[in-house]
């Protein structure tokens, strides 16, 4: 839900009153809803300083740990259940998730998700966007380009996962659950003082298994499309009482095993068997993914008496994965190794001031080593393609963001970022020549450097104590670079920078029984980076033209009674190619819809908290309707609109114990989550997991 802020009782503005009456006819009741407690102010940190949500000039949504637990959200790809307007799916495998927000989608570049994920302010590697959620306090979503604060690849928005930091209050949380298809999930966390008033610590761990619904027709193996994994983290926090400073260190790791990259024929969603081309030998028909990642960070802060806070962060992340699977006449192996270093130093205001500010310096360095081998088995056996590559990117940036509280009601904001980006590639390989049946060598190396200046301007006005409007213009970008999966000489040519600008007007209302938010937006993108060529294993990135996304979104929460809440989230979006000027991109496709961008989405929900003789019972029902979308630029592969129904009942026999029974996709609706077409192989798709029924028991102290 979109979080709200504390507001004194005030008359509803006429427009919002009419809207609430139109959506909820029972508001005409003589008695009206029972009174509910005022909302607690919510502080968000995704703007790189502590601020109330009501003061942020943009669309912000906050999901608390209670929201995640109620919706059984265990990993980042399930966050679309609690974050309105966000669609998540896997493009083949969990390594390359597709995220779509406001018509901005990562389908154009699998290595650069449209929504950048941060954990406690630390960016996650693109192949680690899909991860388990450990000891999360809340999740903050900033929609629209956030380039001035976050730099590269934040055109759809920023998702900041805020974990629970250990403090003086001990806490212990544990949960265990089972689900259909023999799935399970276990999670536990604990934290508290090690030396009270000085040193605090916390640990957490998780293990899960979510089998898929497909079967390997050659080996008979079940559960294709699923995954299982383990994860853990540890934190230390040095915070002496009465001192203006604190230091913290954290370390975490996660390993995942999966049976993915499995497809069914595009028109046969009822198939329970993954497609494997006849003639592929049994020992080359298995699907196997293995990924392990480790992360470490050091952070510190110092609060000056003058109302400024100095924060410093240094973080490291390593990830390696192995990916092997049959596709068409090939068996492919694609191991990769990633390393990342990040440092940030920033100074931000605290408390109430006439001018709030954030200024900072940022550095990010990422290296990737990749091997790629395609072995042909049909109609003959041969090594078809083999490459080895090394890619590096580095970003250096200075950024600032200012908000001037011109009057008690009017805020004016401005942001600026200057980024210096460098990318380099070095690769070599050989490909089978199907005319001579010899091998043609290829390779290349190159370096590209570029400076990018981004800006942002915004204004916010409080019409009443409960109602506030805002407007903003912001920029985002993806820097110039090289294809991270090179397969020919063409990959030695750098693609150019992609830039976007967003225009947004919105409003929020927060009363005692009604909370609402609405926004209208337009995002223009030029020099879009897109994969070209439909030859499997030979695609590369180029700049293809201009995109435009326009839309409107709305979210409402109404406490119709003291223990009953109705919710409505809705959006309408039109994302299309304004022009395609690359001859290899898709000639004649100007005006087509951008892939993986649903035309609309509606979620209606009802939640209650009922006291019984056996304890509190909390039923929840959510109905989600997702509009039609395409999976390809030519708009030939379409997934029609579909409706999902989620139902859960939580029972609290004691304050610290919650037992939840749930059913996701209650009607077992089948739909495609990803699809691709090949002139040589035909059209194929991945299907959703189907109905999932489960039971979970949680303990919190």
Return the half-sphere exposure (C-beta side, CA atoms, 13 A cut-off) of residue 195. Answer: 8
Name which residue leads in pLDDT, 151 or 200: 200
What is the torsional sign of CA 376, 382, 387, 388? positive
CA nearest neighbour of 79 among 153, 157, 175:
157
pLDDT category of residue 89 using cuts at 50, 70 and 90: confident
pLDDT of residue 538: 61
Instruction: Please give the helix or strand (H or E) that residue 550 lies within, else none.
Output: strand 545-561
Over the stretch 399-411, which tens digit does the pLDDT of each residue have? 999 999 999 999 9
Looking at CATH, the fold of the domain delimited by 14-700 is given as Maltoporin; Chain A (2.40.170)
Over the stretch 510-542, which tens digit does the pLDDT of each residue have? 998 999 999 999 999 999 888 776 555 566 788
pLDDT category of residue 93 using cuts at 50, 70 and 90: confident
pLDDT of residue 40: 57
E strands, 146-285, in order: 157-163, 171-179, 183-195, 199-210, 214-215, 222-224, 227-238, 245-258, 264-265
For 696-701, what is the mean pLDDT?
Answer: 95
Least confident segment among 100-109, 179-188, 269-278, 563-572 = 100-109
Cα gap 430→487, rounded to integer Å: 9
For 306-322, what is the mean pLDDT?
Answer: 96
Cα gap 687→680, rounded to integer Å: 22
Asked whether the predicted pLDDT for residue 214 surpasses 90, the reply is yes
Cα gap 674→699, rounded to integer Å: 37
pLDDT of residue 533: 64
Taking CA atoms, 383 is separated from 294, 332, 444, 479, 544, in Å, by 34, 10, 21, 34, 32
pLDDT of residue 271: 85
Over the stretch 317-376, which tens digit does the pLDDT of each residue have? 999 999 999 999 999 999 999 999 999 999 999 987 899 999 999 999 999 999 999 999
Return the half-sphere exposure (C-beta side, CA atoms, 13 A cut-off) of residue 24. Answer: 24
Asked whether the predicted pLDDT for residue 378 surpasses 60, the reply is yes
Rg of the chain over Cα atoms, rounded to whole angstroms, equals 25
Least confident segment among 96-110, 167-181, 513-527 = 96-110
Pairing of strands 514-526, 529-532: unpaired
- CB-based contact 138:665 (threshold 8 Å): no
For 161-184, what is the mean pLDDT?
Answer: 95
pLDDT category of residue 551 using cuts at 50, 70 and 90: very high
pLDDT of residue 537: 55
Over the stretch 234-280, which tens digit does the pLDDT of each residue have? 999 999 999 999 999 999 999 999 999 999 999 998 888 999 999 99
Q: Which residues contact 15 (CB under 8 A, 6 or more apart)?
A: none
DSSP secondary structure of 190-230: EEEEEETTTEEEEEEEEEEEE--SEE-TTT--EEET-EEEE
For 429-448, what is the mean pLDDT?
Answer: 94
Instruction: Please give the helix or strand (H or E) that residue 301 lies within, else none.
Output: strand 288-303
For 423-449, what is the mean pLDDT?
Answer: 95
Over the stretch 614-628, which tens digit does the pLDDT of each residue have? 999 999 999 999 999
Mean pLDDT of the residues in the chain: 89
pTM, whole model, 2 decimals? 0.90
């Amino acid at each position: 839900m979109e979080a709200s802020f504390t507001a004194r009782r005030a008359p509803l503005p006429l427009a919002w009153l009419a809207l609430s009456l139109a959506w909820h006819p029972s508001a005409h009741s003589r008695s009206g809803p029972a009174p509910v407690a005022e909302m607690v102010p919510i502080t968000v940190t995704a703007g790189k300083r502590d601020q109330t949500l009501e003061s942020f000039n943009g669309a912000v949504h906050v999901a608390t740990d209670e929201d995640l637990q109620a919706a059984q959200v265990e990993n980042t790809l399930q966050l679309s259940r609690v974050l309105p307007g966000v669609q998540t799916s896997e493009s083949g495998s969990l390594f390359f998730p597709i995220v779509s927000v406001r018509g901005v989608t990562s389908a154009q570049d699998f290595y650069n998700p449209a929504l950048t994920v941060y954990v406690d302010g630390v960016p996650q590697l693109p192949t680690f966007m899909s991860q388990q959620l450990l000891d999360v306090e809340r999740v903050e979503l900033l929609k629209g380009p956030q380039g001035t604060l976050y730099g590269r690849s934040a055109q759809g928005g920023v998702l900041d996962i805020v974990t629970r930091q250990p403090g003086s209050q001990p806490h212990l949380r544990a949960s265990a659950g089972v689900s259909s298809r023999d799935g399970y999930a276990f999670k536990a966390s604990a934290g508290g003082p090690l030396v009270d008033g000085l040193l605090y610590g916390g640990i957490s761990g998780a293990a899960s298994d979510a089998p898929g619904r497909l079967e390997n027709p050659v080996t008979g193996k079940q559960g294709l499309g699923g995954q299982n994994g383990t994860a853990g983290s540890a934190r230390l926090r040095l915070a002496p009482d009465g001192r203006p400073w604190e230091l913290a260190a954290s370390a975490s790791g996660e390993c995942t095993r999966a049976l993915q990259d499995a497809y069914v024929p595009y028109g046969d969603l009822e198939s329970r068997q993954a497609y494997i081309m006849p003639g592929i030998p049994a020992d080359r028909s298995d699907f196997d993914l293995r990924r392990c990642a480790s992360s470490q960070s050091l952070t510190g802060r110092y609060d000056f008496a003058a109302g400024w806070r100095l924060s410093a962060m240094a973080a490291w992340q390593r990830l390696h994965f192995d990916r092997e699977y049959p596709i068409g006449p090939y068996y492919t192996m694609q191991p990769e190794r990633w390393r990342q270093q990040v440092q940030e130093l920033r100074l931000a205001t605290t408390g109430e001031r006439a001018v709030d500010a954030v200024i900072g310096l940022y550095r990010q360095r990422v290296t990737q080593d990749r091997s790629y081998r395609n072995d042909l088995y049909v109609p003959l056996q041969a090594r078809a393609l083999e490459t080895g590559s090394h890619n590096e990117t580095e970003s250096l940036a200075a950024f600032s963001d200012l908000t001037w509280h011109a009057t008690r009601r009017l805020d004016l904001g401005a942001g600026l970022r200057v980024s210096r980006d460098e990318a380099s590639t070095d690769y070599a390989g050989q490909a089978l020549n199907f005319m001579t049946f010899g091998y043609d060598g290829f390779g290349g190396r190159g370096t590209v450097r570029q400076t990018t200046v981004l800006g942002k301007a915004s204004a916010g006005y409080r019409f009443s104590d409960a109602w506030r409007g805002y407007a903003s213009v912001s920029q985002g970008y993806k820097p110039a670079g090289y294809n991270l999966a090179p397969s020919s000489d063409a990959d030695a040519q750098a693609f150019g920078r992609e830039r976007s600008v967003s225009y947004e007007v919105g409003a929020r209302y927060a009363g005692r029984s009604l909370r609402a938010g609405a926004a209208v937006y337009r995002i223009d993108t030029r020099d879009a980076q897109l994969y070209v060529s439909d030859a499997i294993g030979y695609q590369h990135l180029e700049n293809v033209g201009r995109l435009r996304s326009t839309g409107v979104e709305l979210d409402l929460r109404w406490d119709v009674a003291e223990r009953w809440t109705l919710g409505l989230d809705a959006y309408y979006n039109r994302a299309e190619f304004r022009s395609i000027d690359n001859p290899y991109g898709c000639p004649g496709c100007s005006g087509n819809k951008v892939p993986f961008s649903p035309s609309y989405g509606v979620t209606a929900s009802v939640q209650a908290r009922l006291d019984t003789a056996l304890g509190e019972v909390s039923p929840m029902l959510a109905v989600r309707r997702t509009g039609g979308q395409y999976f390809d630029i030519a708009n030939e592969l379409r997934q029609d609109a579909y409706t999902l129904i989620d139902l859960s009942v939580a029972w609290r026999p004691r304050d610290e114990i919650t037992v939840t029974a749930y059913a996701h996709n209650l009607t077992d609706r089948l739909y495609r989550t990803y699809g691709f077409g090949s002139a040589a192989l035909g059209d194929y798709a991945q299907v959703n997991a189907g109905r999932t029924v489960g039971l979970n028991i949680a303990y919190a102290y």
